Chains A and B, each alone.
Chain A
């Protein structure tokens, strides 16, 4: 059977090129991999190698011809047991195939346009938090995080903790205190200071069937590792068509601590919340910390777990129920109110509750929502609240531009526009690198007084 050799494309954008030179002539025998001609575009010159074997029966495009369209037949090879003369006759079938291929290629380009209209499928709302058995225990956020890790490590031998100073030093912020003693050096592992490396190693261990908890001493240092978190951990499940899973938790303090200046004081909530393939959690209370971290470790996906250094030492009541675990994706109404909805996460929840107390004194009854989960985002709980209060203030410690509050505002435009009596107001960190000086730092970070002002503004009071 004769074989048509087609004008190849050098890149997906190339539509035509010049046939610069023939390296074979009619009657030559051609082997697989042999260079038969050279083609040129404005970008490059490429040698065209034969894929099939045969004898050159006809040259269809002379050398030096410009503007040869991709997929045009350029020569004909006679296959084994076929005379060159037989093959020299035009082979309409092959040509039709080439046309079909061309058509297919252009169809592949057009098709997605029609399909982009497809909306994301509805995601089932997470089950509401159940009533917990037994009493509560007062503990710090630090203790709650440790208890969550210890409980999951007891339950599942494939869970391990790695990070800088997590073992012998007992944790840079003492979150992992005592874990080395209980679980040993095999499962509580001090790493060198090598964030990119150990984040990637953790991803590999997760691909290999383990459930790593990777602690970053702070999320500021995770910027060194963000390629592994996003390109490797978040995307591989999709890129493998569902074959690969990456059950890993990246956790550590996020946002401003106290007087550590700009490089150690950034909120990464919106960075990670931007990325499909990740779950992003931001606990406030000790109950959040324990319940959400247990859920994060059990989750079969990569989870970003944003803690806060200032909260580590604060105490809260935590259910004693041994099965206590929180659903991912569910916000919590921390204070019920009717006049304005204040949405916050992490350390800003405490400031929002303080602001609500202040607002109560002037007769404004604020509802405070603790987001807990930034991806998935519990739009429904917020919309329901706004339907009642008709006013919304968003609080975050990070910068406002492209922040969580920006997304929240857009979501309210889409889902609650008719219920809003005032534009959404955003309370956020000022648009500057966080300064060191005590007075400047305080000015740059959002305080409860800013939330009070914002709530009064949306309430016209």
Chain B
């Protein structure tokens, strides 16, 4: 089982814990926990800034923010190897950052500039990084599921041990092609983990109003795909479930489904009337279930970090996000000649 490169022994934490901190989970080191906190905070601050730039008219079209769901991708990503494929829908900025893509390149794609990952030609919903094995960023609800299954097919065909992490939302979970893909994945024992990010609403329609059965982790039962429901607001729960599911896929046992129970604080996209849920419901999640606050408390309670340490992380991330925002506004628009490039690969 691959673990993130960072190990507890070189933990440079300034906190003065006298006895080993009690994290309630032996497989996670203090250093890793702090890294998860940082990664989640980066996504949160990045998305807040993206929302602000959208409000200023610097980002156009659709912009789907990941705020509230950070623990899902950060927890899953803790288990991946270098060449494991990651693919998701259009709520994708968090996945890119978690895959290690440069926040500058992501933000500059949001503003439609030449320094963006797609040279400004894809936008918020369509970004890719071959280097980081991030395969998009797909704008059609559910379309990434057969594609992610095909990436798993390619891994199996090539005889390597890589897996495909295929993310989709509760909204996609009613698309026919999702089940077509699951059937083939189970039939051919493809190394794919389906991660359903159940944030309770497909745009403005709640899961209860959209799915005849709301236990989405059981939606692979018809194909014999094991599934599990996970607290998607707890990065360590996600990480533990992800480890098991990825191991299952990697060892040749076929697909696995993880239903992450999560919540998005913001609207579906920026222009969301928010009439389909109450403010109290949103506040309850923000105040009581916030994934970042949860880990912050754990770090403090376990004495892994103190307020000054948290402040240092905050300052570092603020700088990363500020630099990304700065870059995204100063990177030039694509050259007019780019209009006609990348339509076909010239043989």
Contact = CB atoms under 8 A, between A and B. Distances in A.
B274 A46 contact: yes
B31 interface: no
B194 interface: no
B174 interface: no
Contact of A244 (B130, B146, B181, B333): B130
Contacts, number: 225
A241 B146 contact: no
B147 to A, nearest CB: 4
Contacts of B67: 33
Contacts of A120: 340
Given A32-B48, A108-B112, A240-B136, A197 B184 contact: yes
A101 B187 contact: no
B183 interface: yes
Given A200-B181, A231-B139, A241-B118, A118 B146 contact: no
A243 interface: yes
Contacts of A227: 140, 143
Contacts of B336: 115, 118
Nearest to A44: B273
Interface string B141-156: 0010111111111110
Given A49-B51, A51-B52, A239-B121, A205 B184 contact: no
Interface in A197-245: 197-210, 227-228, 231-232, 236-245
Contacts of B58: 101, 104-105
Contact of B44 (A33, A118, A204, A298): A33
A361 interface: no
With most chain B CB atoms within 10 A of its CB, the pick from A32, A33, A243 is A243
A194 interface: yes
B83 to A, nearest CB: 10
Interface string A102-122: 101100100100010010110
A277 to B, nearest CB: 6
A77 to B, nearest CB: 13
Contact of B273 (A43, A206, A276): A43
Interface string B178-190: 0011011001000
B45 interface: yes
A239 B273 contact: no
Contact of A232 (B143, B341, B345, B347): B143
Given A43-B273, A197-B180, A197-B181, A102 B150 contact: no
A70 interface: yes
Contact of A201 (B48, B55, B116, B150): B150
Nearest to A117: B336
With most chain B CB atoms within 10 A of its CB, the pick from A101, A104, A197, A228 is A197
B146 A201 contact: yes
A6 B55 CA distance: 8
A121 B340 contact: yes
Contacts of A12: 57, 60-61
A99 B87 CA distance: 38
B61 A200 contact: no
B157 A241 contact: no
Interface string A349-369: 000000000000000000000
Given A8-B55, A298-B347, A197 B146 contact: yes
Given A228-B143, A300-B345, 17 more contacts: A10-B271, A45-B273, A200-B150, A201-B149, A203-B146, A204-B135, A204-B149, A204-B150, A206-B150, A208-B135, A227-B140, A228-B146, A236-B128, A239-B121, A240-B118, A241-B121, A244-B130
Interface of B: 44-45, 48-49, 51-52, 54-58, 60-61, 67, 85, 87, 112, 116-122, 126-130, 135-136, 138-140, 143, 145-155, 157-158, 164, 176-177, 180-181, 183-184, 187, 267, 270-274, 329, 333, 336, 339-345, 347
